[in-house]
Amino acid sequence: MFKGRHFEQSVILLCVRWYLSYGLSLRDLKEMMAERGISVDHSTIHRWVVHFAPLLADRFNRRKRAVTGRWHADETYIKVRGRWTYLYRAIDSNGDTVEFRLSEHRDLSAAKRFFRKAFAGTAGRSALSSMAARPTGKRSFPVTPQAAFRIGPAVVLNPYAFDRVSI
């Protein structure tokens, strides 16, 4: 992955990590590297980020821990950059985030998009393919991911409480 690069692997990874994690500008990173005795241009750092960020994301996603069979899904209304948006999120029983989505609308299509993204993102990380939804907490019924989209309001979540969804 790093063959033919003029800088060491550790320098490239450090710059990419700092840029993505801390929101530093490219020129700030250039100054920080200069303080450490490494002369690198800001455009070079940008090329590293563009090239290596997707590759690193793929490698990290391959090593992610498998999600558990029980999810907690939540929906709430939050302010992002001065605009009110709906936050849909799902966490597993270990407390790890399965998926999240910001949406301007709270409707069936937004919920469907969220669950489609969640199911697609965990396809390789979960051994189970079916799900049982408990919208009221009183009874459960087996549902495939495709049928969950047809159910609609049964899986739309209460904005003030965690609803359990088992897969």
- Helix pair 26-35, 42-62: axis angle to 10 deg: 100
Confidence of residue 154 (pLDDT cuts 50, 70, 90): very low
75-83 contacts at long range (C-beta below 8 A, 24 or more positions apart): 75/106, 75/111, 75/156, 75/157, 75/158, 75/159, 76/159, 76/160, 77/106, 77/159
Name the pTM for this structure. 0.46
Q: Buried b vs exposed e over 126-143: b needs ≥16 C-beta within 10 Å?
A: beeeebbbbbeeeeeeeb
Instruction: Identify the residue with better confidence: 140 or 145.
Output: 145
The domain limits of the chain are: 9-62, 70-166
How would residue 132 be classed by pLDDT, with cut points 50, 70 and 90? very low
Please determine, for residue 161, whether its predicted confidence score (pLDDT) is greater than 80. Answer: no
Distance between CA atoms of 41 and 85, rounded to whole angstroms?
Answer: 38
Least confident interval from 41-50, 64-73, 153-162: 153-162
